[in-house]
Amino acid sequence: MRITSALVGFLLLSTACSGNTAGDSSDSNETVSAEVSSKMRTLTKQQASERADKHIHQAVSALPVEPSLRLHDDSATECQDPTDGGPRGRYEVGKTFWLDELSPERNTEFVDALYKHWSENGYSVLSDKRSSNDKYVWVENPNDSFRMSVQQSKNGDLSLTATSPCVWPEGAPPSEANQ
């Protein structure tokens, strides 16, 4: 008798904890969809471009000599394989500038200055190849997930890049952006 009572109690508890019945599953799905959508709001492509510029200018201000910036790339490419597990249809906004009027003989000093700036401002270092011939440092800002890099070309020129995380063109999934 005790086993039967325990089994009945277990079945009642299991049924109560399972939560959904066929009649109310749509309400639960709508709640989950609403939560996912509200978490999928991002910067717009324009805002991401402006933020990339801000990261670039903050980094350049840390250099001991002010270079002139020559735009090499200003693009937005669709996130084909989003690392955040989110949906497609979002874009990664990136800007790359050549740092002109800097003496290549001082590249170690310039790259070290950028590394120091990023380290002191909480960026996570993803790759540090300052000691290689083609100096390269890649970092990520933990506050907004923008990534930056400095790289020395074979000719000794330095480029500075800022790239956004995946963003919706209008800052929200298409169905929400049109509302």
pLDDT number for residue 40: 75
C-alpha dihedral over 127, 85, 120, 131, to 10 degrees? 0
**How far, in Å, CA of 14 to CA of 6, rounded?**
12
Could you give the angle at the alpha carbon of 43 between the alpha carbons of 141 and 46, nearest 5°?
105
Share of the chain above pLDDT 90, in %: 66
Q: Over 80: is that where the pLDDT of 167 sits?
A: yes
User: What would the pLDDT profile of 137-165 be if each residue is shown by its tens digit?
Assistant: 999 999 999 999 999 999 999 999 999 99
User: What would the pLDDT profile of 68-99 be if each residue is shown by its tens digit?
Assistant: 999 999 999 999 866 667 788 999 999 999 99
